[in-house]
Structure 1
């Protein structure tokens, strides 16, 4: 019968297609059955399903999907690079245990890889397990090591519990995960992959087109050295790493059957662990990388230590100095550090660094039987050894890893890192010890002086009490004067603005204490060709921005504050103070400043494509922004804003987020700029009130424009306006539709409620966009501009909704409409004018003056 069926398959695929029984509730497929495009295999407990799916009803894929969420998240795709072009296709299992997908023209679209060639089996079956593993096996075989084929050996973009990521040395095969070409749209091979390098001491790298952008660090017995937060939890996620002569791999398991977790890479360059939140019916980001500047591979170069709690983040190991001082001063530490003194093998010493991510271990010496003491002695005798450490940290530490080259990609953690011993010349260690001894003596002397001073003050106090009655009248008079002086000081603090009023709260030093290069005025004049008109990049409310080139060849952007601009010393100090502390790829980088008499200038990195508004609202240029670039810009702005609100050392409210304050580099990556109006919040502070409303009408939230109340939700509103503008290519201010009462937000809201939201998309964008992606962005944008601040999402939720196709997104409520009285965009932070602000038919008139 089996042979007859095969003949029928060869002669007429269509006969087989219509005659075989339907598989809709089973977990098993036999050689006499086929799985059609409208049929499903379901795992025994109904956790996973195997079925054909499509994003556009034109191209079809066979994949394994979760059934727990309504979007049926895809975790594995068979024919990811060879989509089916018609609906009439089916999956077949051959007698040789091979899976094939055949279309209606009898063409084989995809076939499974077989490690056993020309083999035949008694009764092979295809089964979908509750682990998400699709296996081909003999019908009575349950030993996983004897499976004929399994999907776990061929992951796509997702690592499920029980999957291995690594190498099998017996078969010389590698297992890794690779992103989709376009998240939520195209499952073919993308640019981002997560692969293990087994050379030296194995670790896993995140790669972008083969270029390393993040590494996990080596396994230390408990976790990866570069993931200190990777702590196993009872009945939750458990991590495992295996290395022997046959294989090396990483895997994880789930102790609680009701918990679902997966590790995936997306096309945006993110590695993320997602867990299913049953109560919220959504996938939540449990962990992700890279998450900050120090996660970037080789951020501080050889012998540099990256520390997110330092400013700048790159520091040299003691005994080393920056290799390129100029680049280092400009906060580019990629060239790393060099030794202060040459090594002398016989007398060298070792410096102990604690709580660090071990340097890259691809080419190191490894001995698992040595103790750390033996490792140190062995390293000391080997003049090529530059550092050493334990391999594992459990039970006091064991094993020896020894570096014979530069130490690259070291990172300092507050806790949870490892000990690393770095080779230094004896003179460097002696200088350090002498300095510590001197500091100890100084501290002791200061202690004696403080003690003596305390005695003196005690004597003075006694004398003061003795004469208290005699001087009471004079003391009362001085107290009154002091109170009046304090009141005047408080008034001054209130008028000085952000820089002064937040100094005590933020714990920051004076401007003079900031580690920021100061440029000579003549240097800036020369770089900008004496501020020539042809070097002018643009002009805002606070002055003109010029393009410049330093003598070394570096291009810069100079913000020259107008002498009569609204941004005085306070805003200038505020902008310097804020930006110098911020380190994120989606924030503009401040290189330095210049202060001379009445001239105040900020020197930024130069971004080739200037500001977003110059392209987005330009009829001839906006075609440069296809949908993928616009989506990338939206996500980049969101990540930058999330960093300001949550991930930076301070909670920062921008207060003037708009298209002209988004700069684009040569690859159209967005960077948030202009922090002159920003405010620092305390960690427990949620909102504040101001008597001076600053910002740009059209981007201001209703509660801020009307009542002066601002919070992170004010920035979220501005971000929502930006999203709607990026999608439509139209400004919120000055937008007029057939209904003259509506601005862009109102127009977008009407289209959404009428089910016509796609009509909002810019006509200059071709049809290559993903409709689901555009609709998701519009929905997120409308959520951000809701009238009530408490209804708006946080930026962490926004980033999750934008980056995950499986995140559940609530329906938006009506937006807050904020309109100026005329269609010409005016920056309220730099002008004096009368405006009307309308919020759902309630109108208030404000006179704003700087």
Structure 2
């Protein structure tokens, strides 16, 4: 009897410990069994888990993640914009039958917010990742009262639908997290445009406007016409519905053991990830925007973008560039215009193969019409600009008509995809011989026109030469007269124009002179004197080789940064010309924004947006301040610089080589977002140009690539070298110039190489980073840095490859080769390094050594 009691006691004791674990391993909550604290719901097949989570800022969210994946991957967040702060908060079924999240005061913070007729409801987590509210005794999916699949956050899962539910009127869309550590509603969304011929856009949600960034193209029966990669997705089945109930898109996995998800990232990229079981990692299967032609309206109206061509924008036969000057500078945003007037009765239609269909929100769609009837309808409507099949399956069916300008067209290679598009052109242009097709500027190549162009060009050149000579004399007189003026009111716009700089008064700044034909705000010198308190020392933000930078406050309260170029700098006006001409045309979140300039007698000033945290070097190389740069911020800064540099090299209107990328030329705003600045040394490359040579090598010692410093050869790869140095400096918190290890034999690059080859790369990390960092990310950044500083330019990756390596934790990176300039100082270098702003000659090439500005 005693033995029986003893065993009973043991069983009771073990049960009391284990029973709560079994109780918590449930998939359903009720009004009497809420979810609290560290409890979680687990779907029946243990695929997904739901519970409270904290990303390290003491804010609690209810979210869903994969149960079997060790590193949590969140796919849905309930209270993304309404976190709670107490672990005593609970998720439960309220008195009105809705699922609600209550804080510690039992106040509802988040709710399913449905009209529920019966209160005997439960909330259940399914193996699909769907969290549903249903009647207790009714599991029919058609009768769900509410479901998370109808309320997505940033992730689309298999079976989840994106688009318009006509019954409820809700347009389901993805919206990014604010940052990787903040699941709040971010700046980017992926949303179905249901007007006309439906298609999906990536939208950037700015303060007062929503800007399209990328367009999928409409659904053509097999895939979105702008996503040819969908045809190679053998393990994924895509579905599209357009009926009385819905306009929606979804995908299914043909192998349920494979996890895949579509994510709208906080950086503005739409990414598809697939779980790779052997390596236990997420592999980036696809992403968009992928290239320059994925940028929305890259080539303007009637322009066609071709990523395999250079330049990427071209005009169709029968069209020519609207703005030839911008077109020649690789800026196709103004698009193309017709070469000849249309004559409705005789117009013809130009067939274009492998096309991403034009923007289709204003298109007319008829499912019952075949292509021949579609062509006849378009021809009879004088406003119709083009037509195509709505569905390309089974030989093609349906009709799409455009009666507006055609935007955002793209042509793919034959093997990639796209579909046929027919564009209206004048008969005279259509009937040109085949050898007179469209060149990249849209002009004809026939002999008669060629002769006419040559003769006309010669005449124009002679006229321009005569005009230029007369204008130059006039400008010189104006320049001389302007220099003789005195005082703050002696500003000379004519002098500015004579130097090749065109400015505009686009904003009504205090005391600012207005001029109708200007293109950049022109500030009055007096205004900037007042704003900077007469360029006081207290307002000084920094100083460099070409002058000082001051903080200023305009009368309207706007804070600015004013670069005052040194009067004694022989290169000052050249730097100002270059900077104004370049920055005014560049727009990117990781490039500093130029607000205007000022030229008055000997004063030359540039006005920029104000950067609250100044330059990167003021924080990175200061032991006390660098503690503010945790690993996440450092990684974000590296990624931001990479995005800005990629924009300069590939995605901007002009291909720009910066030539002076360094820590002091990376500015940080109040959010620590990096912005590349100082384009005084930058050079423009043509679309086909990959390398240039100069006799005057300018830049900063420690950041210049070997081929540039030694032979004057610069290219995008010389910028990549500078970026690699910058990456290693950000990781280590140490300068490449001035850092020497082991009896002056190794600089930072050589020291990093030694640690890498010895398997001790993590010893490079700045000790102020602390213990909270991703070892994989840190090692990947060090490896990328070494790949970028390899001695030979051809071994270095381009910036698009660098961004891919930074964003993918499963990509196999190549092993780096020996870095350039990794040895320590030679004797003559030690002697000269103590001097600033001096020049030394290497192989008859002058190298100007400039310290941080």
- TM-score, length-scaled by structure 2: 0.64
1:152 aligns with 2:138: no
Does 2:271 match 1:275?
A: no
Other-structure match for 1:576: none
Match of 1:104 in 2: 104
The equivalent of 1:89 in structure 2 is 89
Q: Secondary structure at the match of 1:361?
A: coil
**How big is each residue's C-alpha offset from its partner over 1:323-342, in whole Å with a ceiling of 9 and x where there is no partner?**
23333333322222222222
Distance 2:784 2:318 in 1: 50
Report what 1:176 is aligned to. 173
Decide whether aligned partners of structure 1 residues 406 and 789 sit closer, same or farther in structure 2, where only a CA change above 3 A counts: closer
**CA 1:717 to 1:61, structure 2 compared with 1: closer, same or farther past 3 Å?**
farther
> Which deviates more from structure 2 when the two are superposed, residues 713-722 or residues 282-291?
713-722
> Separation in 2 of the partners of 1:825 and 1:231?
59
The answer for the alignment partner of 1:239 in structure 2 is: 238
Change (3 A) 1:643 1:315: same
Tell me, yes or no, if structure 1 residue 722 matches structure 2 residue 726: yes
Q: Is residue 43 from structure 1 mapped to residue 43 from structure 2 by the alignment?
A: yes
The answer to whether the 8 A contact 1:613-1:659 is kept is no
Match of 1:426 in 2: 427
Alignment match, 2:768: 759
Contact 1:42 1:50 in 2 (8 A): yes
Q: Which residue of 2 aligns with 1:838?
A: none
Which of 125, 130, 147 is matched with 2:127 structurally? 130
**How far 1:63 moved relative to its partner?**
0.3
CA shift, 1:153, in A, is 0.7
How do 1:509-658 and structure 2 match up within 5 A? Answer: 553-554=518-519, 615-617=615-617, 634-639=638-643, 658=662
SS in structure 2 of the partner of residue 308 of structure 1: coil
Among residues 715, 725, 737, which one is paired with 1:733 in the alignment? 737
Q: Aligned partners of 2:323 and 2:269: how far apart in 1?
A: 31
Aligned twin of 2:351? 352
* Alpha-carbon distance in 2 for matches of 1:546, 1:727: 41
Name the CA distance, whole Å, in 1 between partners of 2:325 and 2:715.
Answer: 38
**SS in structure 2 at match of 1:369:** coil
> 1:131 deviation in Å?
1.5
Q: What SS is found at the alignment partner of 1:194?
A: strand
Whether contact under 8 Å (1:319, 1:429) holds in the other structure is yes
Q: Unaligned stretches of 5+ in structure 2?
A: 1-18, 439-443, 448-466, 489-498, 505-515, 522-545, 547-569, 571-581, 593-605, 691-696, 848-853
TM superposition shift of 1:77: 0.4
Kept in 2, the 8 Å contact 1:584–1:640? The answer is: no
Deviations 1:725-761 (A, max 9, x none): 4578863312589999997677999999689846159
- Equivalent residues in 2 for 1:311-390, closer than 5 Å: 311-390=310-389
Partner of 2:304: 305
- Shift in alpha-carbon separation, 1:25–1:385, aligned structure 2, 3 A: same
**Which residue in the other structure is 2:10 paired with?**
none
Q: Is the 8 A contact 1:776 1:802 kept in 2?
A: no
**Counterpart check, 1:193 vs 2:189:** yes
Contact in 2 for aligned 1:734/1:823 (Cα 8 Å): no
SS at match of 1:38: coil
SS of 1:65 mapped into structure 2: strand
Between 727-736 and 75-84, the greater mean CA deviation after superposition: 727-736
Q: What's the CA shift for 1:231?
A: 1.0
Conserved 8 A contact 1:178-1:265: yes
Matches within 5 A, 1:155-166: 155-166=152-163
Whether the 8 Å CA contact 1:22–1:39 is kept in 2: the answer is: no
Counterpart in the other structure of 2:565: none
Partner of 1:293: 292
Give how far 1:64 is off.
Answer: 0.4
Task: Tell me the residue number matched to 2:803.
Answer: 799
What does residue 224 of structure 1 align with?
224
CA distance in 2, matches of 1:152, 1:833: 67
Query: For the residues of structure 2 that align with 1:112 and 1:777, how far apart are their CA atoms?
Result: 38
CA contact (8 A) 1:372 1:390 kept: yes
Q: What is the CA distance between 1:166 and its match in structure 2?
A: 0.2
Q: In the superposition, relative to structure 1, how do residues 646 and 635 fare at CA in structure 2: closer, same or farther (>3 Å)?
A: same
Aligned residue-pair number: 673
Give, in angstroms, the shift of residue 69 of structure 1.
3.4
Tell me how far apart the structure 2 counterparts of residues 319 and 826 of structure 1 sit (CA, whole Å): 64
CA deviation string 1:329-388 (max 9, x = no partner): 333222222222222222221111111111111011111111111000011111121111
| Contact 2:367/2:399 (8 A) holds in 1 | yes
Q: Alpha-carbon deviation of 1:197? A: 0.8
Name the SS for the 1:698 alignment partner.
coil
Between 1:305-314 and 1:638-647, the stretch displaced more is 638-647
Partner of 1:571: none
- The 8 Å contact of residues 667 and 677 in structure 2, kept in 1 or not, is answered as yes
Moved more, 803-812 or 358-367: 803-812
SS at match of 2:642: helix
CA 703–363 in structure 1, closer or farther in 2 if over 3 Å, else same: closer
Deviation sequence 1:262-293 (CA, Å, 0-9, x none): 11111211111111222332222211111212
1:563-601 alpha-carbon deviations (Å, 9 max, x no partner): xx9xxxxxxxxxxxxx9xxx9979999xxxxxxxxxxxx
**Other-structure match for 1:489:** none
Are the equivalent residues in 2 in contact too, given 1:633–1:670 (CA < 8 A)? Answer: no
Name the residue aligned to 1:598: none
What are structure 1's unaligned runs of at least 5 residues?
1-18, 443-518, 535-544, 560-564, 566-578, 590-605, 684-692, 762-770, 835-845
- Larger mean Cα displacement after TM superposition, 736-745 or 263-272: 736-745
Which of 729-738 and 639-648 deviates more? 639-648
Q: What is the CA distance between 1:429 and its match in structure 2?
A: 1.8
Deviation at 1:619, TM superposition (A): 8.1
- Encode CA deviations 1:513-541: one digit per residue, 9 max, x unaligned: xxxxxx98988997997999x9xxxxxxx
Work out whether residues 621 and 734 of structure 2, in 8 Å CA contact, stay in contact via their aligned partners in 1. Answer: no
Partners of 1:646 and 1:639 in 2: how far apart? 10
Q: After the TM superposition, which residues 765-804 of structure 1 pair with which residues of structure 2 at under 5 Å, given as runs?
A: 780-785=780-785, 799=803, 802-803=806-807
RMSD, aligned CA: 5.9
1:316/1:151 CA distance change after superposition, 3 Å:
same
CA contact (8 A) 2:132 2:148 kept: yes
Question: Counterpart of 1:180 in 2: which secondary structure?
Answer: strand
Q: What's the secondary structure of 1:784's corresponding residue?
A: helix
Q: Is the 8 A contact 2:90 2:103 kept in 1?
A: yes
Tell me the distance in 2 between the aligned counterparts of 1:98 and 1:47. 25
Q: Any conservation in 2 of the 1:636–1:670 contact (CA below 8 Å)?
A: no
**CA deviation digits over 1:641-674, x for unaligned, max 9?**
67999999xx999998645787999996548987
Indicate if the aligned counterparts of 1:695 and 1:827 stay in contact, CA closer than 8 A.
no
Q: Which residue of 2 aligns with 1:403?
A: 402
Q: How far apart, CA to CA, are the structure 1 residues paired with 2:763 and 2:647?
A: 35
Give me the whole-angstrom Cα distance separating, in 2, the residues matched to 1:432 and 1:192.
Answer: 47
Partner of 2:77: 77
Q: Which residue in the other structure is 2:63 paired with?
A: 63
Residues 586, 671 of structure 1: 8 Å contact kept: no
Q: Which residue of 2 aligns with 1:392?
A: 391
Residue 412 of structure 1 and its aligned partner are, at CA, apart by 1.3
Indicate the SS of the match to 2:803.
Answer: helix
Q: Take 1:382 and 1:113, find their aligned partners in 2: how far apart are those partners? A: 49
Cα distance per residue 1:288-313 (max 9 Å; x no partner)? 11121211111111111112233322
Distance 2:838 2:346 in 1: 64
